[in-house]
Amino acid sequence: MPGKDVKIVGFLCNWCAYAGADMAGMARMEQPAGMRIIRVPCSGRVDPLLVLKAFQEGADGVLVSGCHPGDCHYGSGNYLARRRLELLGRMLPALGIEPERFHYTWVSASEGARWAEIVNTFTEAIKDVDEGS
């Protein structure tokens, strides 16, 4: 369905990714309007069930983003997240969800441009899946 609005849920850790998204805002970097950010203290707080719930509720895509490996505010939360989300990503096709709709990545507090880029490319990737290309 070309033109359909893409709705993405983004779970962002407070210390890095959320701050990075703020940084993109401060630099007035235009982004697609479909991203809905939910702030969490740490990417390690993101229960895979929350991700699945988001898909169940009709999200076109789910993004989880936290601090770069080694930079976690709590030391190891992002490593735990990576382990859980990696597994989750592999399970998704079995549940009938295209793997392109799920993405986890790291963004630091100073990487506003990187954040804007991620929102853009992820949104495009989901549009491609929707259009079946």
Partner 1 sequence: MLGVFICQCGTNISATVDTGAVAAAAAGMRGVAHAESIQYTCSDPGQAAIGAAVREKRLDRIVIAACSPRMHEATFRRALERAGLNPYMMEMVNIREQCSWIHADTGEATMKAVDLVRKAVARIRAHVPLQGGKTAAVRRALVIGGGIAGIRAALDISAAGIPVTLVEKSPSIGGNMARLDKTFPTLDCSSCILTPLMVEIKQHDHIELMTNAEVDDVRGLVGDFQIDIRRRSTCVDEEKCTGCMICQEKCPAPAPDDFNAGLCQSKAISVAFPQAVPLVASLRKQYCRRFNGGKCRLCQKLCPAGAVDYGQEDEVVSRSFGAVVAATGYGHYDWTGSYPTFGKGLYPDVITSAQYERLLSASGPTGGLIRRPSDGAEPRQVAFVSCVGSRDESAGRPQCCSVGCMYTAKQAILTKEHIPDSQSYIFYIDMRAGGKNYEEFVRRAQTRYGAIFIRGRVGRIFPRRGKLVVMGTDTLAGDQVEIEADLVVLAAGLTAAPGAGELARKLNIACDETGFMAEEHPKLRPVEAAAAGVFLAGACQGPKDIPATVAQAGAAAAKVIGLLSRGELETSPMVSAVNPSRCAGCFKCRDVCPFGAIDKDRLADGLVTARVIESLCRGCGICNAACPPGAISLNGYTDKQLLAELVEVLR
Strand partners, 13: 40
Q: Which residues bind partner 1 (CB under 8 A)?
A: 7, 9, 14-16, 18-19, 21-22, 24-26, 28-31, 33, 36-42, 44-47, 50, 53-54, 57-59, 70-71, 73-77, 80, 84, 108-111, 116
Q: Which is nearer to partner 1, 36 or 90 (CB)?
A: 36
C-beta of 58 vs 96, nearer to partner 1? 58
- Tokens read off for 63: 């993004």
Tokens 């993101």 belong to 46
CB of 133 to partner 1, least distance (A): 24
- Which CB atom, from 73 or from 125, has the smaller least distance to partner 1? 73
8 SS3 class: strand
Nearer to partner 1 by C-beta: 92 or 108? 108
Give the Cβ contact number of residue 32 at 10 Å.
16
Give whole-number Cα distances, 2 to 10, 17, 131, in Å.
Answer: 22, 30, 6
Q: What whole-number distance in Å separates Cα of residue 22 and Cα of residue 2?
A: 30
Closest distance to partner 1 from the beta carbon of 75 (Å): 4
Pair of tokens at residue 86: 């990696």
